[in-house]
């Protein structure tokens, strides 16, 4: 006899608890998210404090940070949620400097780090026994998928040229300022010995080299070719002997074709002179 809805349990890997979730109401199928307490040996990440952070795996692609916040809201107070493609260091320290470039959006199945407000909520999550799948998308909180998601991504991909130009101008302004500061610092340090007595020598103040012309480049190439020819041992290897034979035959064929053209040209210009 099959277990009733009240007696239904969901299997989970060792050390995890299963939280069943369904996309919309009225569906028989569900998806399980597996949760455990996030513990690391070195407590160096301030964004994921010990005793207040949950590690969630098997997060479906359509599940957003807002979805996870709503999923845990009935059981605990959520402080922050971070989604990543795979487990690893937090990416929150990297502040996004651009709205159009260097955007790291995880795709496919993800992992999540959920920071709770109260440490006591960790024990409450560990003792959870959810028998009915949690609803992720509803009328008041829809999650866009399919064609609606594609339309939203396409509209987000359209670039506002004015804001993009403003962002580029701001970036170049900061870049020019940084370059000017580096040049000013290099001028101050030029000629001043360091702690070990070494003096940094820069290219500033040197006479700029003249650009090479095409004729000069050809001369240099010919000179390098003659130098290499003098150093090489001709016909030392078997393949060199075969190559020289091929080149000699190619030169003979070329000369033969040129001679044929000359003879044909002479015959075309020949005139009959009886006297």
Query: Binning pLDDT at 50, 70 and 90, where does residue 102 land?
Result: low
Range of the domain at 36: 17-148
Query: Binning pLDDT at 50, 70 and 90, where does residue 204 land?
Result: low
For residue range 46-97, list pLDDT tens digits in order: 778 888 888 988 888 878 888 888 888 888 888 888 888 888 777 665 555 6
Domain's final residue, options 124, 148, 172? 148
Is 29 part of any domain? yes
Q: pLDDT value at position 256? A: 95
For residue range 215-257, list pLDDT tens digits in order: 888 888 898 888 887 777 667 777 878 888 899 999 999 999 9
Domain's final residue, options 123, 148, 173? 148
Supply the pTM of this predicted model. Answer: 0.51
On average, the pLDDT of the chain sits at: 78
Q: Number of folded domains in the chain? A: 2
Which stretch of 133-147, 195-209, 247-261 has the lowest confidence by average pLDDT? 195-209
The mean pLDDT of 139-160, rounded to a whole number, is 75
68: nearest Cα among 15, 39, 106, 99: 106
Is 50 part of any domain? yes
For residue range 262-271, list pLDDT tens digits in order: 998 888 887 6
Q: In terms of domains, do 138 and 226 share one? A: no
**Which residues neighbour 83 within 8 Å (Cβ) at sequence distance 6 or greater?**
59, 64, 65, 68, 106, 110, 111, 112
């Amino acid at each position: 006899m099959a277990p009733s809805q009240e007696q239904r349990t969901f299997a989970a890997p060792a050390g995890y608890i299963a939280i069943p979730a369904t996309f919309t109401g009225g569906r028989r199928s569900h998806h399980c998210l597996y949760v455990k307490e996030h513990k690391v040996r070195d407590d160096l990440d301030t964004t994921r404090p010990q005793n207040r952070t949950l590690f969630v795996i098997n997060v479906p692609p359509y599940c957003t940070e807002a979805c996870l916040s709503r999923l845990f809201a009935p059981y605990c107070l959520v402080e922050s949620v971070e989604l990543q493609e795979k487990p690893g260091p937090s990416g929150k320290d990297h502040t996004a400097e651009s709205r159009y470039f260097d955007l790291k959006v995880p795709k496919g199945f993800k992992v999540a780090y959920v920071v709770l407000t109260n440490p006591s909520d960790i024990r409450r999550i560990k003792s959870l026994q959810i028998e009915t799948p949690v609803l992720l998308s509803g009328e008041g909180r829809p999650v866009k998928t399919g064609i609606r998601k594609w339309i939203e991504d396409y509209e987000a991909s359209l670039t506002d040229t004015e804001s993009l130009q403003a962002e580029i101008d701001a970036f170049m302004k900061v870049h020019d300022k940084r370059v000017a500061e580096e040049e000013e610092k290099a001028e101050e340090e030029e000629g001043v010995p360091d702690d070990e007595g070494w003096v940094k020598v820069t290219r500033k103040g040197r006479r700029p080299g003249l650009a090479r012309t095409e004729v000069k480049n050809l001369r240099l190439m010919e000179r390098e070719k003659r130098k290499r020819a003098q150093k090489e041992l001709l016909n030392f290897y078997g393949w060199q002997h075969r190559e020289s034979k091929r080149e000699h035959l190619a030169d003979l064929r070329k000369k033969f074709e040129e001679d044929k053209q000359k003879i044909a040209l002479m015959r075309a210009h020949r005139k009959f002179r009886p006297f």
